[in-house]
Amino acid sequence: MKISNRLLTIASFIEDNSFVMDVGADHGQLEIYLVDNRKLNGIIAVENKVGPYSILKNALNGTDVRCILGDGIKQITEEVDTVVIAGMGGNLIVDILKDDITKLRNVKHIVVDAHRDNELVRRAIIGLGYKIDKEVIVFENKKYYFVISFKKGSTKYSDEQYEFGTCYKDPLFKQFKEFELNKLNQELIKSGEAKSPNKVKMEKLKAKIVRLENYGND
Ligand SMILES: C[S@@+](CC[C@H](N)C(=O)[O-])C[C@H]1O[C@@H](n2cnc3c(N)ncnc32)[C@H](O)[C@@H]1O
């Protein structure tokens, strides 16, 4: 089965012999790929919606993957050392992880792909006692996705690393930066054209543009 580059990248971040819980498994594309191509100690696939869950369950019938109709990491088990949460907004990812942080006791590796609010995700997971191990950009369906691998530990990060990511050496970063600067500049122009422009918002936008222009140039 062919899966997207985004899911392939997530799969490549999962280590051999790990025990994975994938939260928000949807139809189980990642699991099918992992079963066919990787040597893992176990996989738990969690989905909280009945429709996708029955497709997931059917797709993984006959494999060792344990499928759970459930919410987030509530049903995590002791042996899970790797949690994957992908294809959702950053707010939801953070809510799922912070729902009960005692559940993360044995989790030494978290792989995420937030479709927005990556700064929030980086700050929250680092605040939980992890550090960024790897981060790459995937460009797919005209969108930039940041796939981030966090491991237990601590390191200091600059505000720009939280805000724009740690992968400024990624071949796609320049392209992402141009795209993002264009978006921010358009937003600034639009804000300036409003009947009563929000000056505070405009100043914030200008400062963000300068920070991004200066980031990752070396
Ligand atoms: C857009 S899909 C992403 C599927 C896959 N992870 C990917 O990256 O392609 C997000 C899935 O997460 C599920 N989901 C959302 N909140 C959840 C939660 N709290 N617990 C389990 N699944 C959840 C949704 O029902 C949906 O199927």
Chain length of the chain: 218
Q: What is d(CA 83, CA 121) in angstroms, rounded to the nearest whole number?
A: 14
pLDDT tens-digit map of 111-165? 999 999 999 999 999 999 999 999 999 999 999 999 999 999 999 999 999 999 9
- How far does residue 210's CA lie from ligand 1's centre (Å)? 35
Rounded to whole angstroms, what are the CA distances from 132 to 21, 63, 81, 128?
Answer: 19, 32, 16, 12
Please tell me the residue having the least CA distance from ligand 1 atom 7: 87
pLDDT tens-digit map of 29-88? 999 999 999 999 999 999 999 999 999 999 999 999 999 999 999 999 999 999 999 999
Contact (CB, 8 A) for 78 and 55: no
Question: Is any ligand 1 atom within 6 A of the Cβ of residue 28?
Answer: no
- How far does residue 86's CA lie from ligand 1's centre (Å)? 7
Q: What is d(CA 154, CA 129) in angstroms, rounded to the nearest whole number?
A: 6
Q: What is d(CA 23, CA 87) in angstroms, rounded to the nearest whole number?
A: 10
Question: Is any ligand 1 atom within 6 A of the Cβ of residue 143?
Answer: no
CATH 3.30.300.30 at 5-164, yes or no? no
The best mutation among 4, 13, 48 to test binding of ligand 1, ranked by most ligand atoms within 8 Å of the C-beta, falls on: 48
The best mutation among 2, 29, 34, 49 to test binding of ligand 1, ranked by most ligand atoms within 8 Å of the C-beta, falls on: 49
Q: Where are the alpha helices (DSSP H) in 70-117?
A: 90-98
- pLDDT at position 2 is 83
**What pTM does this model have?**
0.96
Question: Is any ligand 1 atom within 6 A of the Cβ of residue 48?
Answer: yes
